[in-house]
């Protein structure tokens, strides 16, 4: 639609310099400094290649520092601020301004754009950053339409940022979710900072502040993306390399601080190279998701070849963030499958545990003992039946629950002790210390430890076995310690493998507390010690 020639400048102020026919051969080109807010002129020859349609005038859009008046072929067509009076009248105007060109001045052929300008701030920015000529309506609406789409795009990243922040708050060990949430939020702010110019007038003296904000956001995103990939694809000497990378980013940010676009470009390039290296390592180690990250990084490079810097920057970041989201979705899927597996395992083990208490040999031994007690002492036989019924009744109450009060668990243990006292004719004793009745635990955890203690222990010389439960808590965890005081417990227990009981305990703890628990079981001089810690 148009062809732009080199812009020439001259310090001074003569109204005749706006004329199309003025001879500007002695004017200077390139950058120079105009300090003190003095007025200077610039002249740019422009060829209009095609005349506009009738009733559809052309417009001129300028992205330039300073306050200025706009002349087209010697005719004043617009004003942006008060050139030469900035200090007196204060800042006016905006960095991006659009002007309508009269239709009779836009016939095909050579034309002249002249600006009468002043630069109270940034006196060395005597240049026109961008110049565009198109239909006036399109110039006004295209930027708003583009900004509206980008803001919808930014909204999606804002929602993702809050969603994964809440997921992190529910499980504070998932730092990958927190990093992804922060990355999405910074990208949301980056889009706002870039496109806010479409609807908020920004004076040229404040434009640098906006660029500084964009630079800081770029610095944060450029570090967080490789940091996130390093969490997903761990590599040797990870901390050292991340520190070196952070140093490189800071060097780029601080040494070229005034060259905003160059700094942003270099930080984006550094981010890409470091991320690509991490993804290659992940692909070499055949880590899940590494190939897709590599593909996203390569596509982001292709975008940079076919689009402008801004579009390739946002397009490339979007692809990379989507690949990060894919890795996170894989992780969430693995966690869900692990949880479902633990549920299946817990259900299976629970059934195994119930079956263990009603299996034929348990019933046979119990009924045999019951026959003896009925024949020898009918009154104790009745008590034996009542104890057995009580234990089965408690089992029926808790078998479908995930957590039960500790008092109910202790009642189950006492009922089992009563039954086993009649069966084995051994004096079993139960003690407890520091029990908080408000605490809850998965059902049959202590019952399983008690049963193991009875099965794998021999009575002391006085024909007794004692069990003791101690509860302690602090700001970090709740701790249940279960002691077995018996003879022969150590030797018997050292020989046993992890059986159904211990598998049941671990599956139940994983089901209720995920990985926030710790369980140890070890022999002592007096028998056996089990320690269960549940972290806050």
Beta carbons within 8 Å of 306's beta carbon, 6+ residues apart:
312
Place of tokens 């056996």: 528
Q: Split the chain (536 residues) into runs of 10 and give each run's mean pLDDT.
A: 90 91 88 82 92 86 92 93 87 90 90 92 83 92 88 90 89 84 93 87 87 91 93 91 93 79 87 92 89 89 79 81 86 80 68 61 71 76 82 80 88 89 86 90 88 85 90 89 80 54 81 84 88 88
**Whole-number Cα distances in Å, 422 to 269, 338, 425, 427, 462:** 77, 42, 5, 9, 17
pLDDT on residue 492: 46
CA proximity to 25, closest of 6, 50, 40, 49: 6
- The DSSP H or E segment spanning 59 is strand 58-64
Instruction: Give the DSSP per-residue string, 517-531.
Output: EEEEEEEETTEEEEE
pLDDT on residue 257: 65
* Strand order, beta sheet including 128-135: 96-100, 58-64, 128-135
pLDDT on residue 494: 47
Is 492 buried (19+), middle (13-18) or exposed (0-12) by CB count in 10 A? middle
CA proximity to 404, closest of 366, 370, 438: 438
Task: Pull the structure tokens for residue 478.
Answer: 């709740």
Q: How many helices (H) and strands (E) does the chain have?
A: 14, 16
Q: Torsion over CA of 357, 360, 366 and 369, rounded to 10 degrees?
A: -160
CB 232 within 8 A of CB 279: no
Task: Pull the structure tokens for residue 227.
Answer: 């940091």
The model scores a pTM over 0.85: no
Distance, in Å, from the CA atom of 207 to the CA atom of 150, rounded to the nearest integer, reads 20
pLDDT on residue 351: 65
CB 413 within 8 A of CB 446: yes
pLDDT on residue 458: 86
pLDDT on residue 53: 83
Phi, psi dihedral angles at 171 (to 5 degrees): -145, 90
Task: Pull the structure tokens for residue 524.
Answer: 């002592």
**Whole-number Cα distances in Å, 157 to 90, 219, 330, 373:** 38, 18, 19, 73
Burial profile 183-193: b = 16 or more Cβ within 10 angstroms, e = fewer:
bbbbbbbbbbb
pLDDT on residue 34: 84
CB 222 within 8 A of CB 271: yes
Is 30 buried (19+), middle (13-18) or exposed (0-12) by CB count in 10 A? exposed
3-state SS, one letter per residue, for 457-469:
CECCCCCEEEEEE
Give bridge partners of residue 71 from the DSSP assignment: 76, 114
Q: Tell me the HSE value of 519 on the side-chain side, using a 13 A CA sphere.
A: 17
């Amino acid at each position: 639609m148009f062809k732009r020639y080199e812009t020439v400048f001259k310090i001074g102020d003569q109204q005749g310099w706006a004329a199309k026919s003025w001879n500007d051969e002695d004017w200077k080109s390139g950058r120079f400094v105009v300090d003190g807010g003095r007025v200077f002129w610039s002249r740019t020859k422009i060829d209009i290649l095609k005349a506009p349609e009738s009733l559809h005038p052309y417009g001129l859009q300028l992205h330039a520092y300073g306050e200025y008046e706009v002349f087209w072929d010697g005719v004043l067509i617009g004003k942006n601020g008060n050139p030469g009076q900035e200090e007196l009248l204060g800042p006016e105007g905006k960095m991006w301004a659009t002007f309508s060109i009269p239709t009779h001045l836009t016939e095909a052929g050579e034309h002249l754009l002249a600006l009468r300008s002043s630069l109270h701030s940034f006196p060395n920015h005597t240049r026109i950053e961008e110049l565009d000529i198109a239909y006036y309506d399109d110039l006004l609406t295209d930027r708003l339409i583009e900004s509206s789409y980008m803001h919808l795009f930014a909204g999606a990243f804002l929602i993702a940022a809050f969603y994964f922040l809440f997921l992190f708050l529910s499980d504070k060990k998932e730092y990958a979710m927190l990093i992804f949430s922060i990355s999405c939020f910074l990208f949301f702010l980056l889009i706002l900072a870039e496109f806010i110019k479409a609807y908020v007038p920004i004076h040229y003296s404040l434009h640098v502040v906006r660029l500084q904000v964009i630079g800081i956001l770029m610095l944060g995103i450029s570090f967080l993306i490789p940091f996130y990939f390093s969490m997903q694809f761990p590599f040797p000497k990870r901390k050292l390399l991340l520190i070196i990378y952070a140093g490189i980013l800071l060097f780029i940010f601080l040494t070229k601080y005034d060259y905003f676009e160059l700094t942003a470009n270099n930080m984006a390039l550094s981010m890409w190279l470091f991320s690509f290296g991490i993804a290659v390592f992940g692909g070499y180690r055949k880590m899940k998701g590494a190939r897709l990250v590599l593909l996203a990084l390569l596509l982001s490079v292709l975008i940079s070849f076919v689009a402008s810097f801004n579009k390739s920057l946002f397009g490339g970041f979007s692809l990379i963030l989507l690949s990060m989201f894919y890795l996170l979705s894989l992780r969430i899927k693995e966690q869900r499958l692990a949880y479902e597996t633990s549920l299946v395992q817990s259900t299976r083990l629970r059934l195994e545990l119930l079956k263990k208490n009603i299996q034929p040999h348990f019933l046979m031994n119990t009924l045999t003992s019951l026959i003896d007690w009925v024949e020898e002492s009918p009154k104790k036989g009745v008590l034996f039946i009542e104890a057995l019924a009580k234990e089965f009744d408690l089992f029926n109450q808790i078998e479908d629950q995930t957590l039960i009060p500790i008092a109910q668990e202790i009642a189950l243990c006492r009922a089992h002790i009563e039954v086993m006292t009649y069966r084995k004719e051994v004096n079993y004793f139960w003690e407890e210390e520091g029990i908080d009745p408000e605490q809850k635990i998965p059902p049959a955890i202590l019952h399983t430890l008690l049963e193991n203690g009875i099965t794998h222990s021999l009575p002391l010389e006085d024909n007794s076995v004692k069990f003791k439960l101690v509860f302690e808590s602090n700001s970090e965890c709740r701790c249940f310690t279960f002691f077995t005081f018996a003879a022969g417990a150590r030797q018997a227990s050292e020989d046993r493998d992890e059986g159904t009981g211990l598998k049941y305990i671990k599956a139940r703890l994983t089901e209720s507390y995920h990985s926030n628990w710790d369980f140890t079981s070890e022999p002592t001089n007096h028998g056996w010690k089990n320690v269960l810690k549940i972290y806050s």
